[in-house]
Structure 1
């Protein structure tokens, strides 16, 4: 699979569980970290003071292979669908060329105060469009 953006996310000691591998919940954290880092650094999202925020309304992960501390996971990110107020991110987690997991997150962008959906506008919309796999 091809991804438009890549981010390395290191595993942490606390990510390992009693079975000696990264716990399944940590994979969601790796994906969430890649998405939100990109939103802040490239998409211009102000998570602290912005009028609009993104809320996760759906997430999924298919596990393919284990990871363990210490490793660095390469997280591939792309946009599979961009709507008026929502976006579906698609992600792949890799160790070298080995696929560890793949998943998706759906964010709905809402007004911080009212929690009502808000149209995705500049600068975020064109940034998200740059991640589309089928523009």
Structure 2
């Protein structure tokens, strides 16, 4: 499974991530996926969410939970792009415990839109160029 993902980040769970059942609450998985994706777009692809260019809106998200994880554990977050379209991208994320256990798999679909119009536009070329390195499925 780990060979399927192109980019990896390690994330430390926090005390507040655990819920009353003693494991990381399901909403935390979504937050971690969103953070890893956006951190990559900003740091690697040069995306500026606060600038005057386009923004990326999440139009679809999904998470399938496979195993529990709890504080204090480190989760390895694997990321790839399953589909890169003209104005949209499907990010795929695998969450893995340090012992190799798959915790969850999920995806986000972002559509790039004009900041003011909120209408789809092409993914900016510098961002698209970096995204191509993460593509593992059908592209364009």
Structure 2 length as normaliser, TM-score? 0.93
| Residues 1:16 and 2:13 aligned together | no
Where does residue 98 of structure 1 map in the other structure?
101
In the alignment, does 2:128 pair up with 1:125?
yes
Q: 6-15 or 16-25: which moved more?
A: 6-15
Match of 1:58 in 2: 60
Q: CA deviation at 1:11?
A: 1.0
TM-score normalised to structure 1 length: 0.96
Pairing 1:79-118 to 2, within 5 Å after superposition: 79-96=81-98, 97-118=100-121
Equivalent of 2:34, from 32, 35, 43?
32
Q: Is 1:77 aligned to 2:82, yes or no?
A: no
Q: CA RMSD in A?
A: 1.0
> Structure 1 stretches (4+) deviating beyond 2 angstroms?
none
Q: How many pairs does the alignment contain? A: 135
> Which ranges of structure 1 fall in alignment gaps of 5 or more residues?
none
